[in-house]
Amino acid sequence: MTTDTVPLTLGFSPCPNDTYIFHALVHGLVDTGGLTFRERLEDVETLNRLALEGALDVSKVSYHALGFLRDEYVLLRSGGALGRGCGPLVVTRGAASMAELRGKPVAVPGRYTTAVLLLRLFDPSLDNLVYLPFHEIMGAVARGEVAAGVIIHESRFTFPEYGLSKLLDLGEWWEGETGCPIPLGGIVARRSLGREAVAAIDRALRASVVHARTNPGAAAGYIRAHSQEMSDEVCAAHIDLYVNDFSLQLGPEGEGAVATLLQRAEASGVIPRSTAPLFEV
């Protein structure tokens, strides 16, 4: 592939944190080292599956999916979602404890999401999983179609509107268990692009995050165009929760958190073992 003439396929979600982060990159507001991109906006589980099919050059993916992608893709150090106080929530209409959910249907937002990985690490016996698009989970729980649901994204701000209560914060559990922030989603690039191109993408992505943080409001129209059903307040809360210094650069703490998650997932047999280096450099 001649990356300086052929646009790279770039996948990310329409969620406010992603459109905020990628706005400057896809609109040519930062130096991309001659690379161009053709964006594709999809929900995170669709992105996971597209990457698993090898259909994207660069993509946001769940860290659970990364466990299946390491031979073909490398992780970038910028642009991802990793932090504290931002993990998936288990919500219910009536269950009083997680133990009550054993054997009962629990709705989860896609097979390869980090939410599913965390639930399996928390209690492997919770295996009656119902896979639903993330935005359908709260309704399914409220209607009694499932006993509980694992919610992500803006759902963590709106679940009380459905008459639901929080049973467990999986991110809080993870932090208490490991001391690490929770890795939710990262940006990957195809290994076959080569080290030089991967490094250029990572630099451009970091610059895009810097641009967003130093130009508040610049991406507002782009964010709003892809989140029309969300209030301005929820959009702002979404960005504040999922975009932080780890989005700028994973750093040693972030890289350690990712390594811990993948090691535990390997040890539990949830993802295959891999000897491929996680980063290009």
Tokens 């592939």 — which residue? 1
Q: How far is CA 17 from the centre of its chain?
A: 10
219 labelled binding-site residue: no
In angstroms, the CA 125 to CA 106 distance is: 12
The phi, psi pair for 166, rounded to 5°, reads -80, 130
Token pair of 105 as six digits: 């249907």
Cα 121 to Cα 118: distance, rounded to the nearest angstrom: 5
Token reading at 143? 């209607």
**Is 60 within any annotated ligand binding site?**
yes
- CA distances (Å), 210 to each of 22, 23, 38, 105, 242, in order? 11, 11, 21, 42, 15
Tell me: is residue 115 an annotated ligand-binding position: yes
Q: For residues 230 and 156, is the Cβ–Cβ distance under 8 A?
A: no
Binding site annotation covers 44?
no
Ramachandran area for residue 194 (φ above 0: left; ψ -120 to 50: alpha; else beta): left
Catalytic residue among 23, 64, 153, 211: 153
104 is in an annotated binding site: no
Closest CA to 229 of 135, 104, 144: 135
Supply 75's token pair.
């992780």
Does 153 qualify as catalytic in the annotation?
Answer: yes
**What tokens were used for 185?**
């989603």
Per the annotation, where are the binding residues for substrate?
Answer: 60-62, 114-115
Which residue ranges make up the annotated binding site? 60-62, 114-115
> Which residues are known to be catalytic?
153
